[in-house]
Structure 1
Amino acid sequence: MAKGKPATPKPPSQYELLGARLQKIINSPAAQKAKAALLYKAPDESEDDWAQILEEIAETDNVTLAHRDDGGVQVFWVVPKDD
């Protein structure tokens, strides 16, 4: 077997960094307990990325988004009961 040069990992895109940041907020113990999280777009984040990720979150079953006057977005979710 020939040994190739190890692949250099590609740095994450701005969209991936945004997704990781929001995932950290949503997965925090406080948010999980409340089944809600308050999200804000950081000044250096793309409006397009922000709109796209909110659209994708909104498409998730049992998730509701509420846009606030201050620019934040409140995310609420319901965990369905097993039958």
Structure 2
Amino acid sequence: MAKGKPAPAAAPTSYELLGARIHRAINAPAAQKSRSAVLLRVEGDTPEDWARILDEIAENDNVTIAHRDDGVQLFWTVPKDD
């Protein structure tokens, strides 16, 4: 039986690209040390993607979002273990 070619991977959506960029920013060593990250808007980011991801981030109790002209800054705390 002949093997078919594997289907090409679907290109990531603009939301997925934004999420990956935010993930990298938050997990950067400097951001982890300061417990803050600046997230800048770039060409190609849609207002809908930003609104969705900020809504999802805001669901976390230990995160503060500060809006800036060029994006947002996130601050977070790490709860102490009991």
TM-score (norm 2): 0.87
Structure 1 consecutive aligned stretches of length 4 or more whose deviation exceeds 6 Å = none
2:48 partner SS: helix
Write out aligned runs for 1:2-81 (5 A). Answer: 3-68=3-68, 70-81=69-80
Q: Distance in 2 between matches of 1:9 and 1:43?
A: 24
Deviations 1:6-57 (A, max 9, x none): 2321111110001001111111000000000111111221111011111111
In structure 2, stretches of 5+ residues that fail to align are none
1:67 partner SS: strand
Q: Distance in 1 between matches of 2:23 and 2:49?
A: 14
- Greater alpha carbon shift after TM alignment, 59-68 vs 4-13: 4-13
Superposition RMSD in Å: 1.7
2:30 partner SS: helix
**Residue type of the alignment partner of 2:31:** A
Q: Distance in 2 between matches of 1:2 and 1:62?
A: 54
% identical equivalent positions: 62
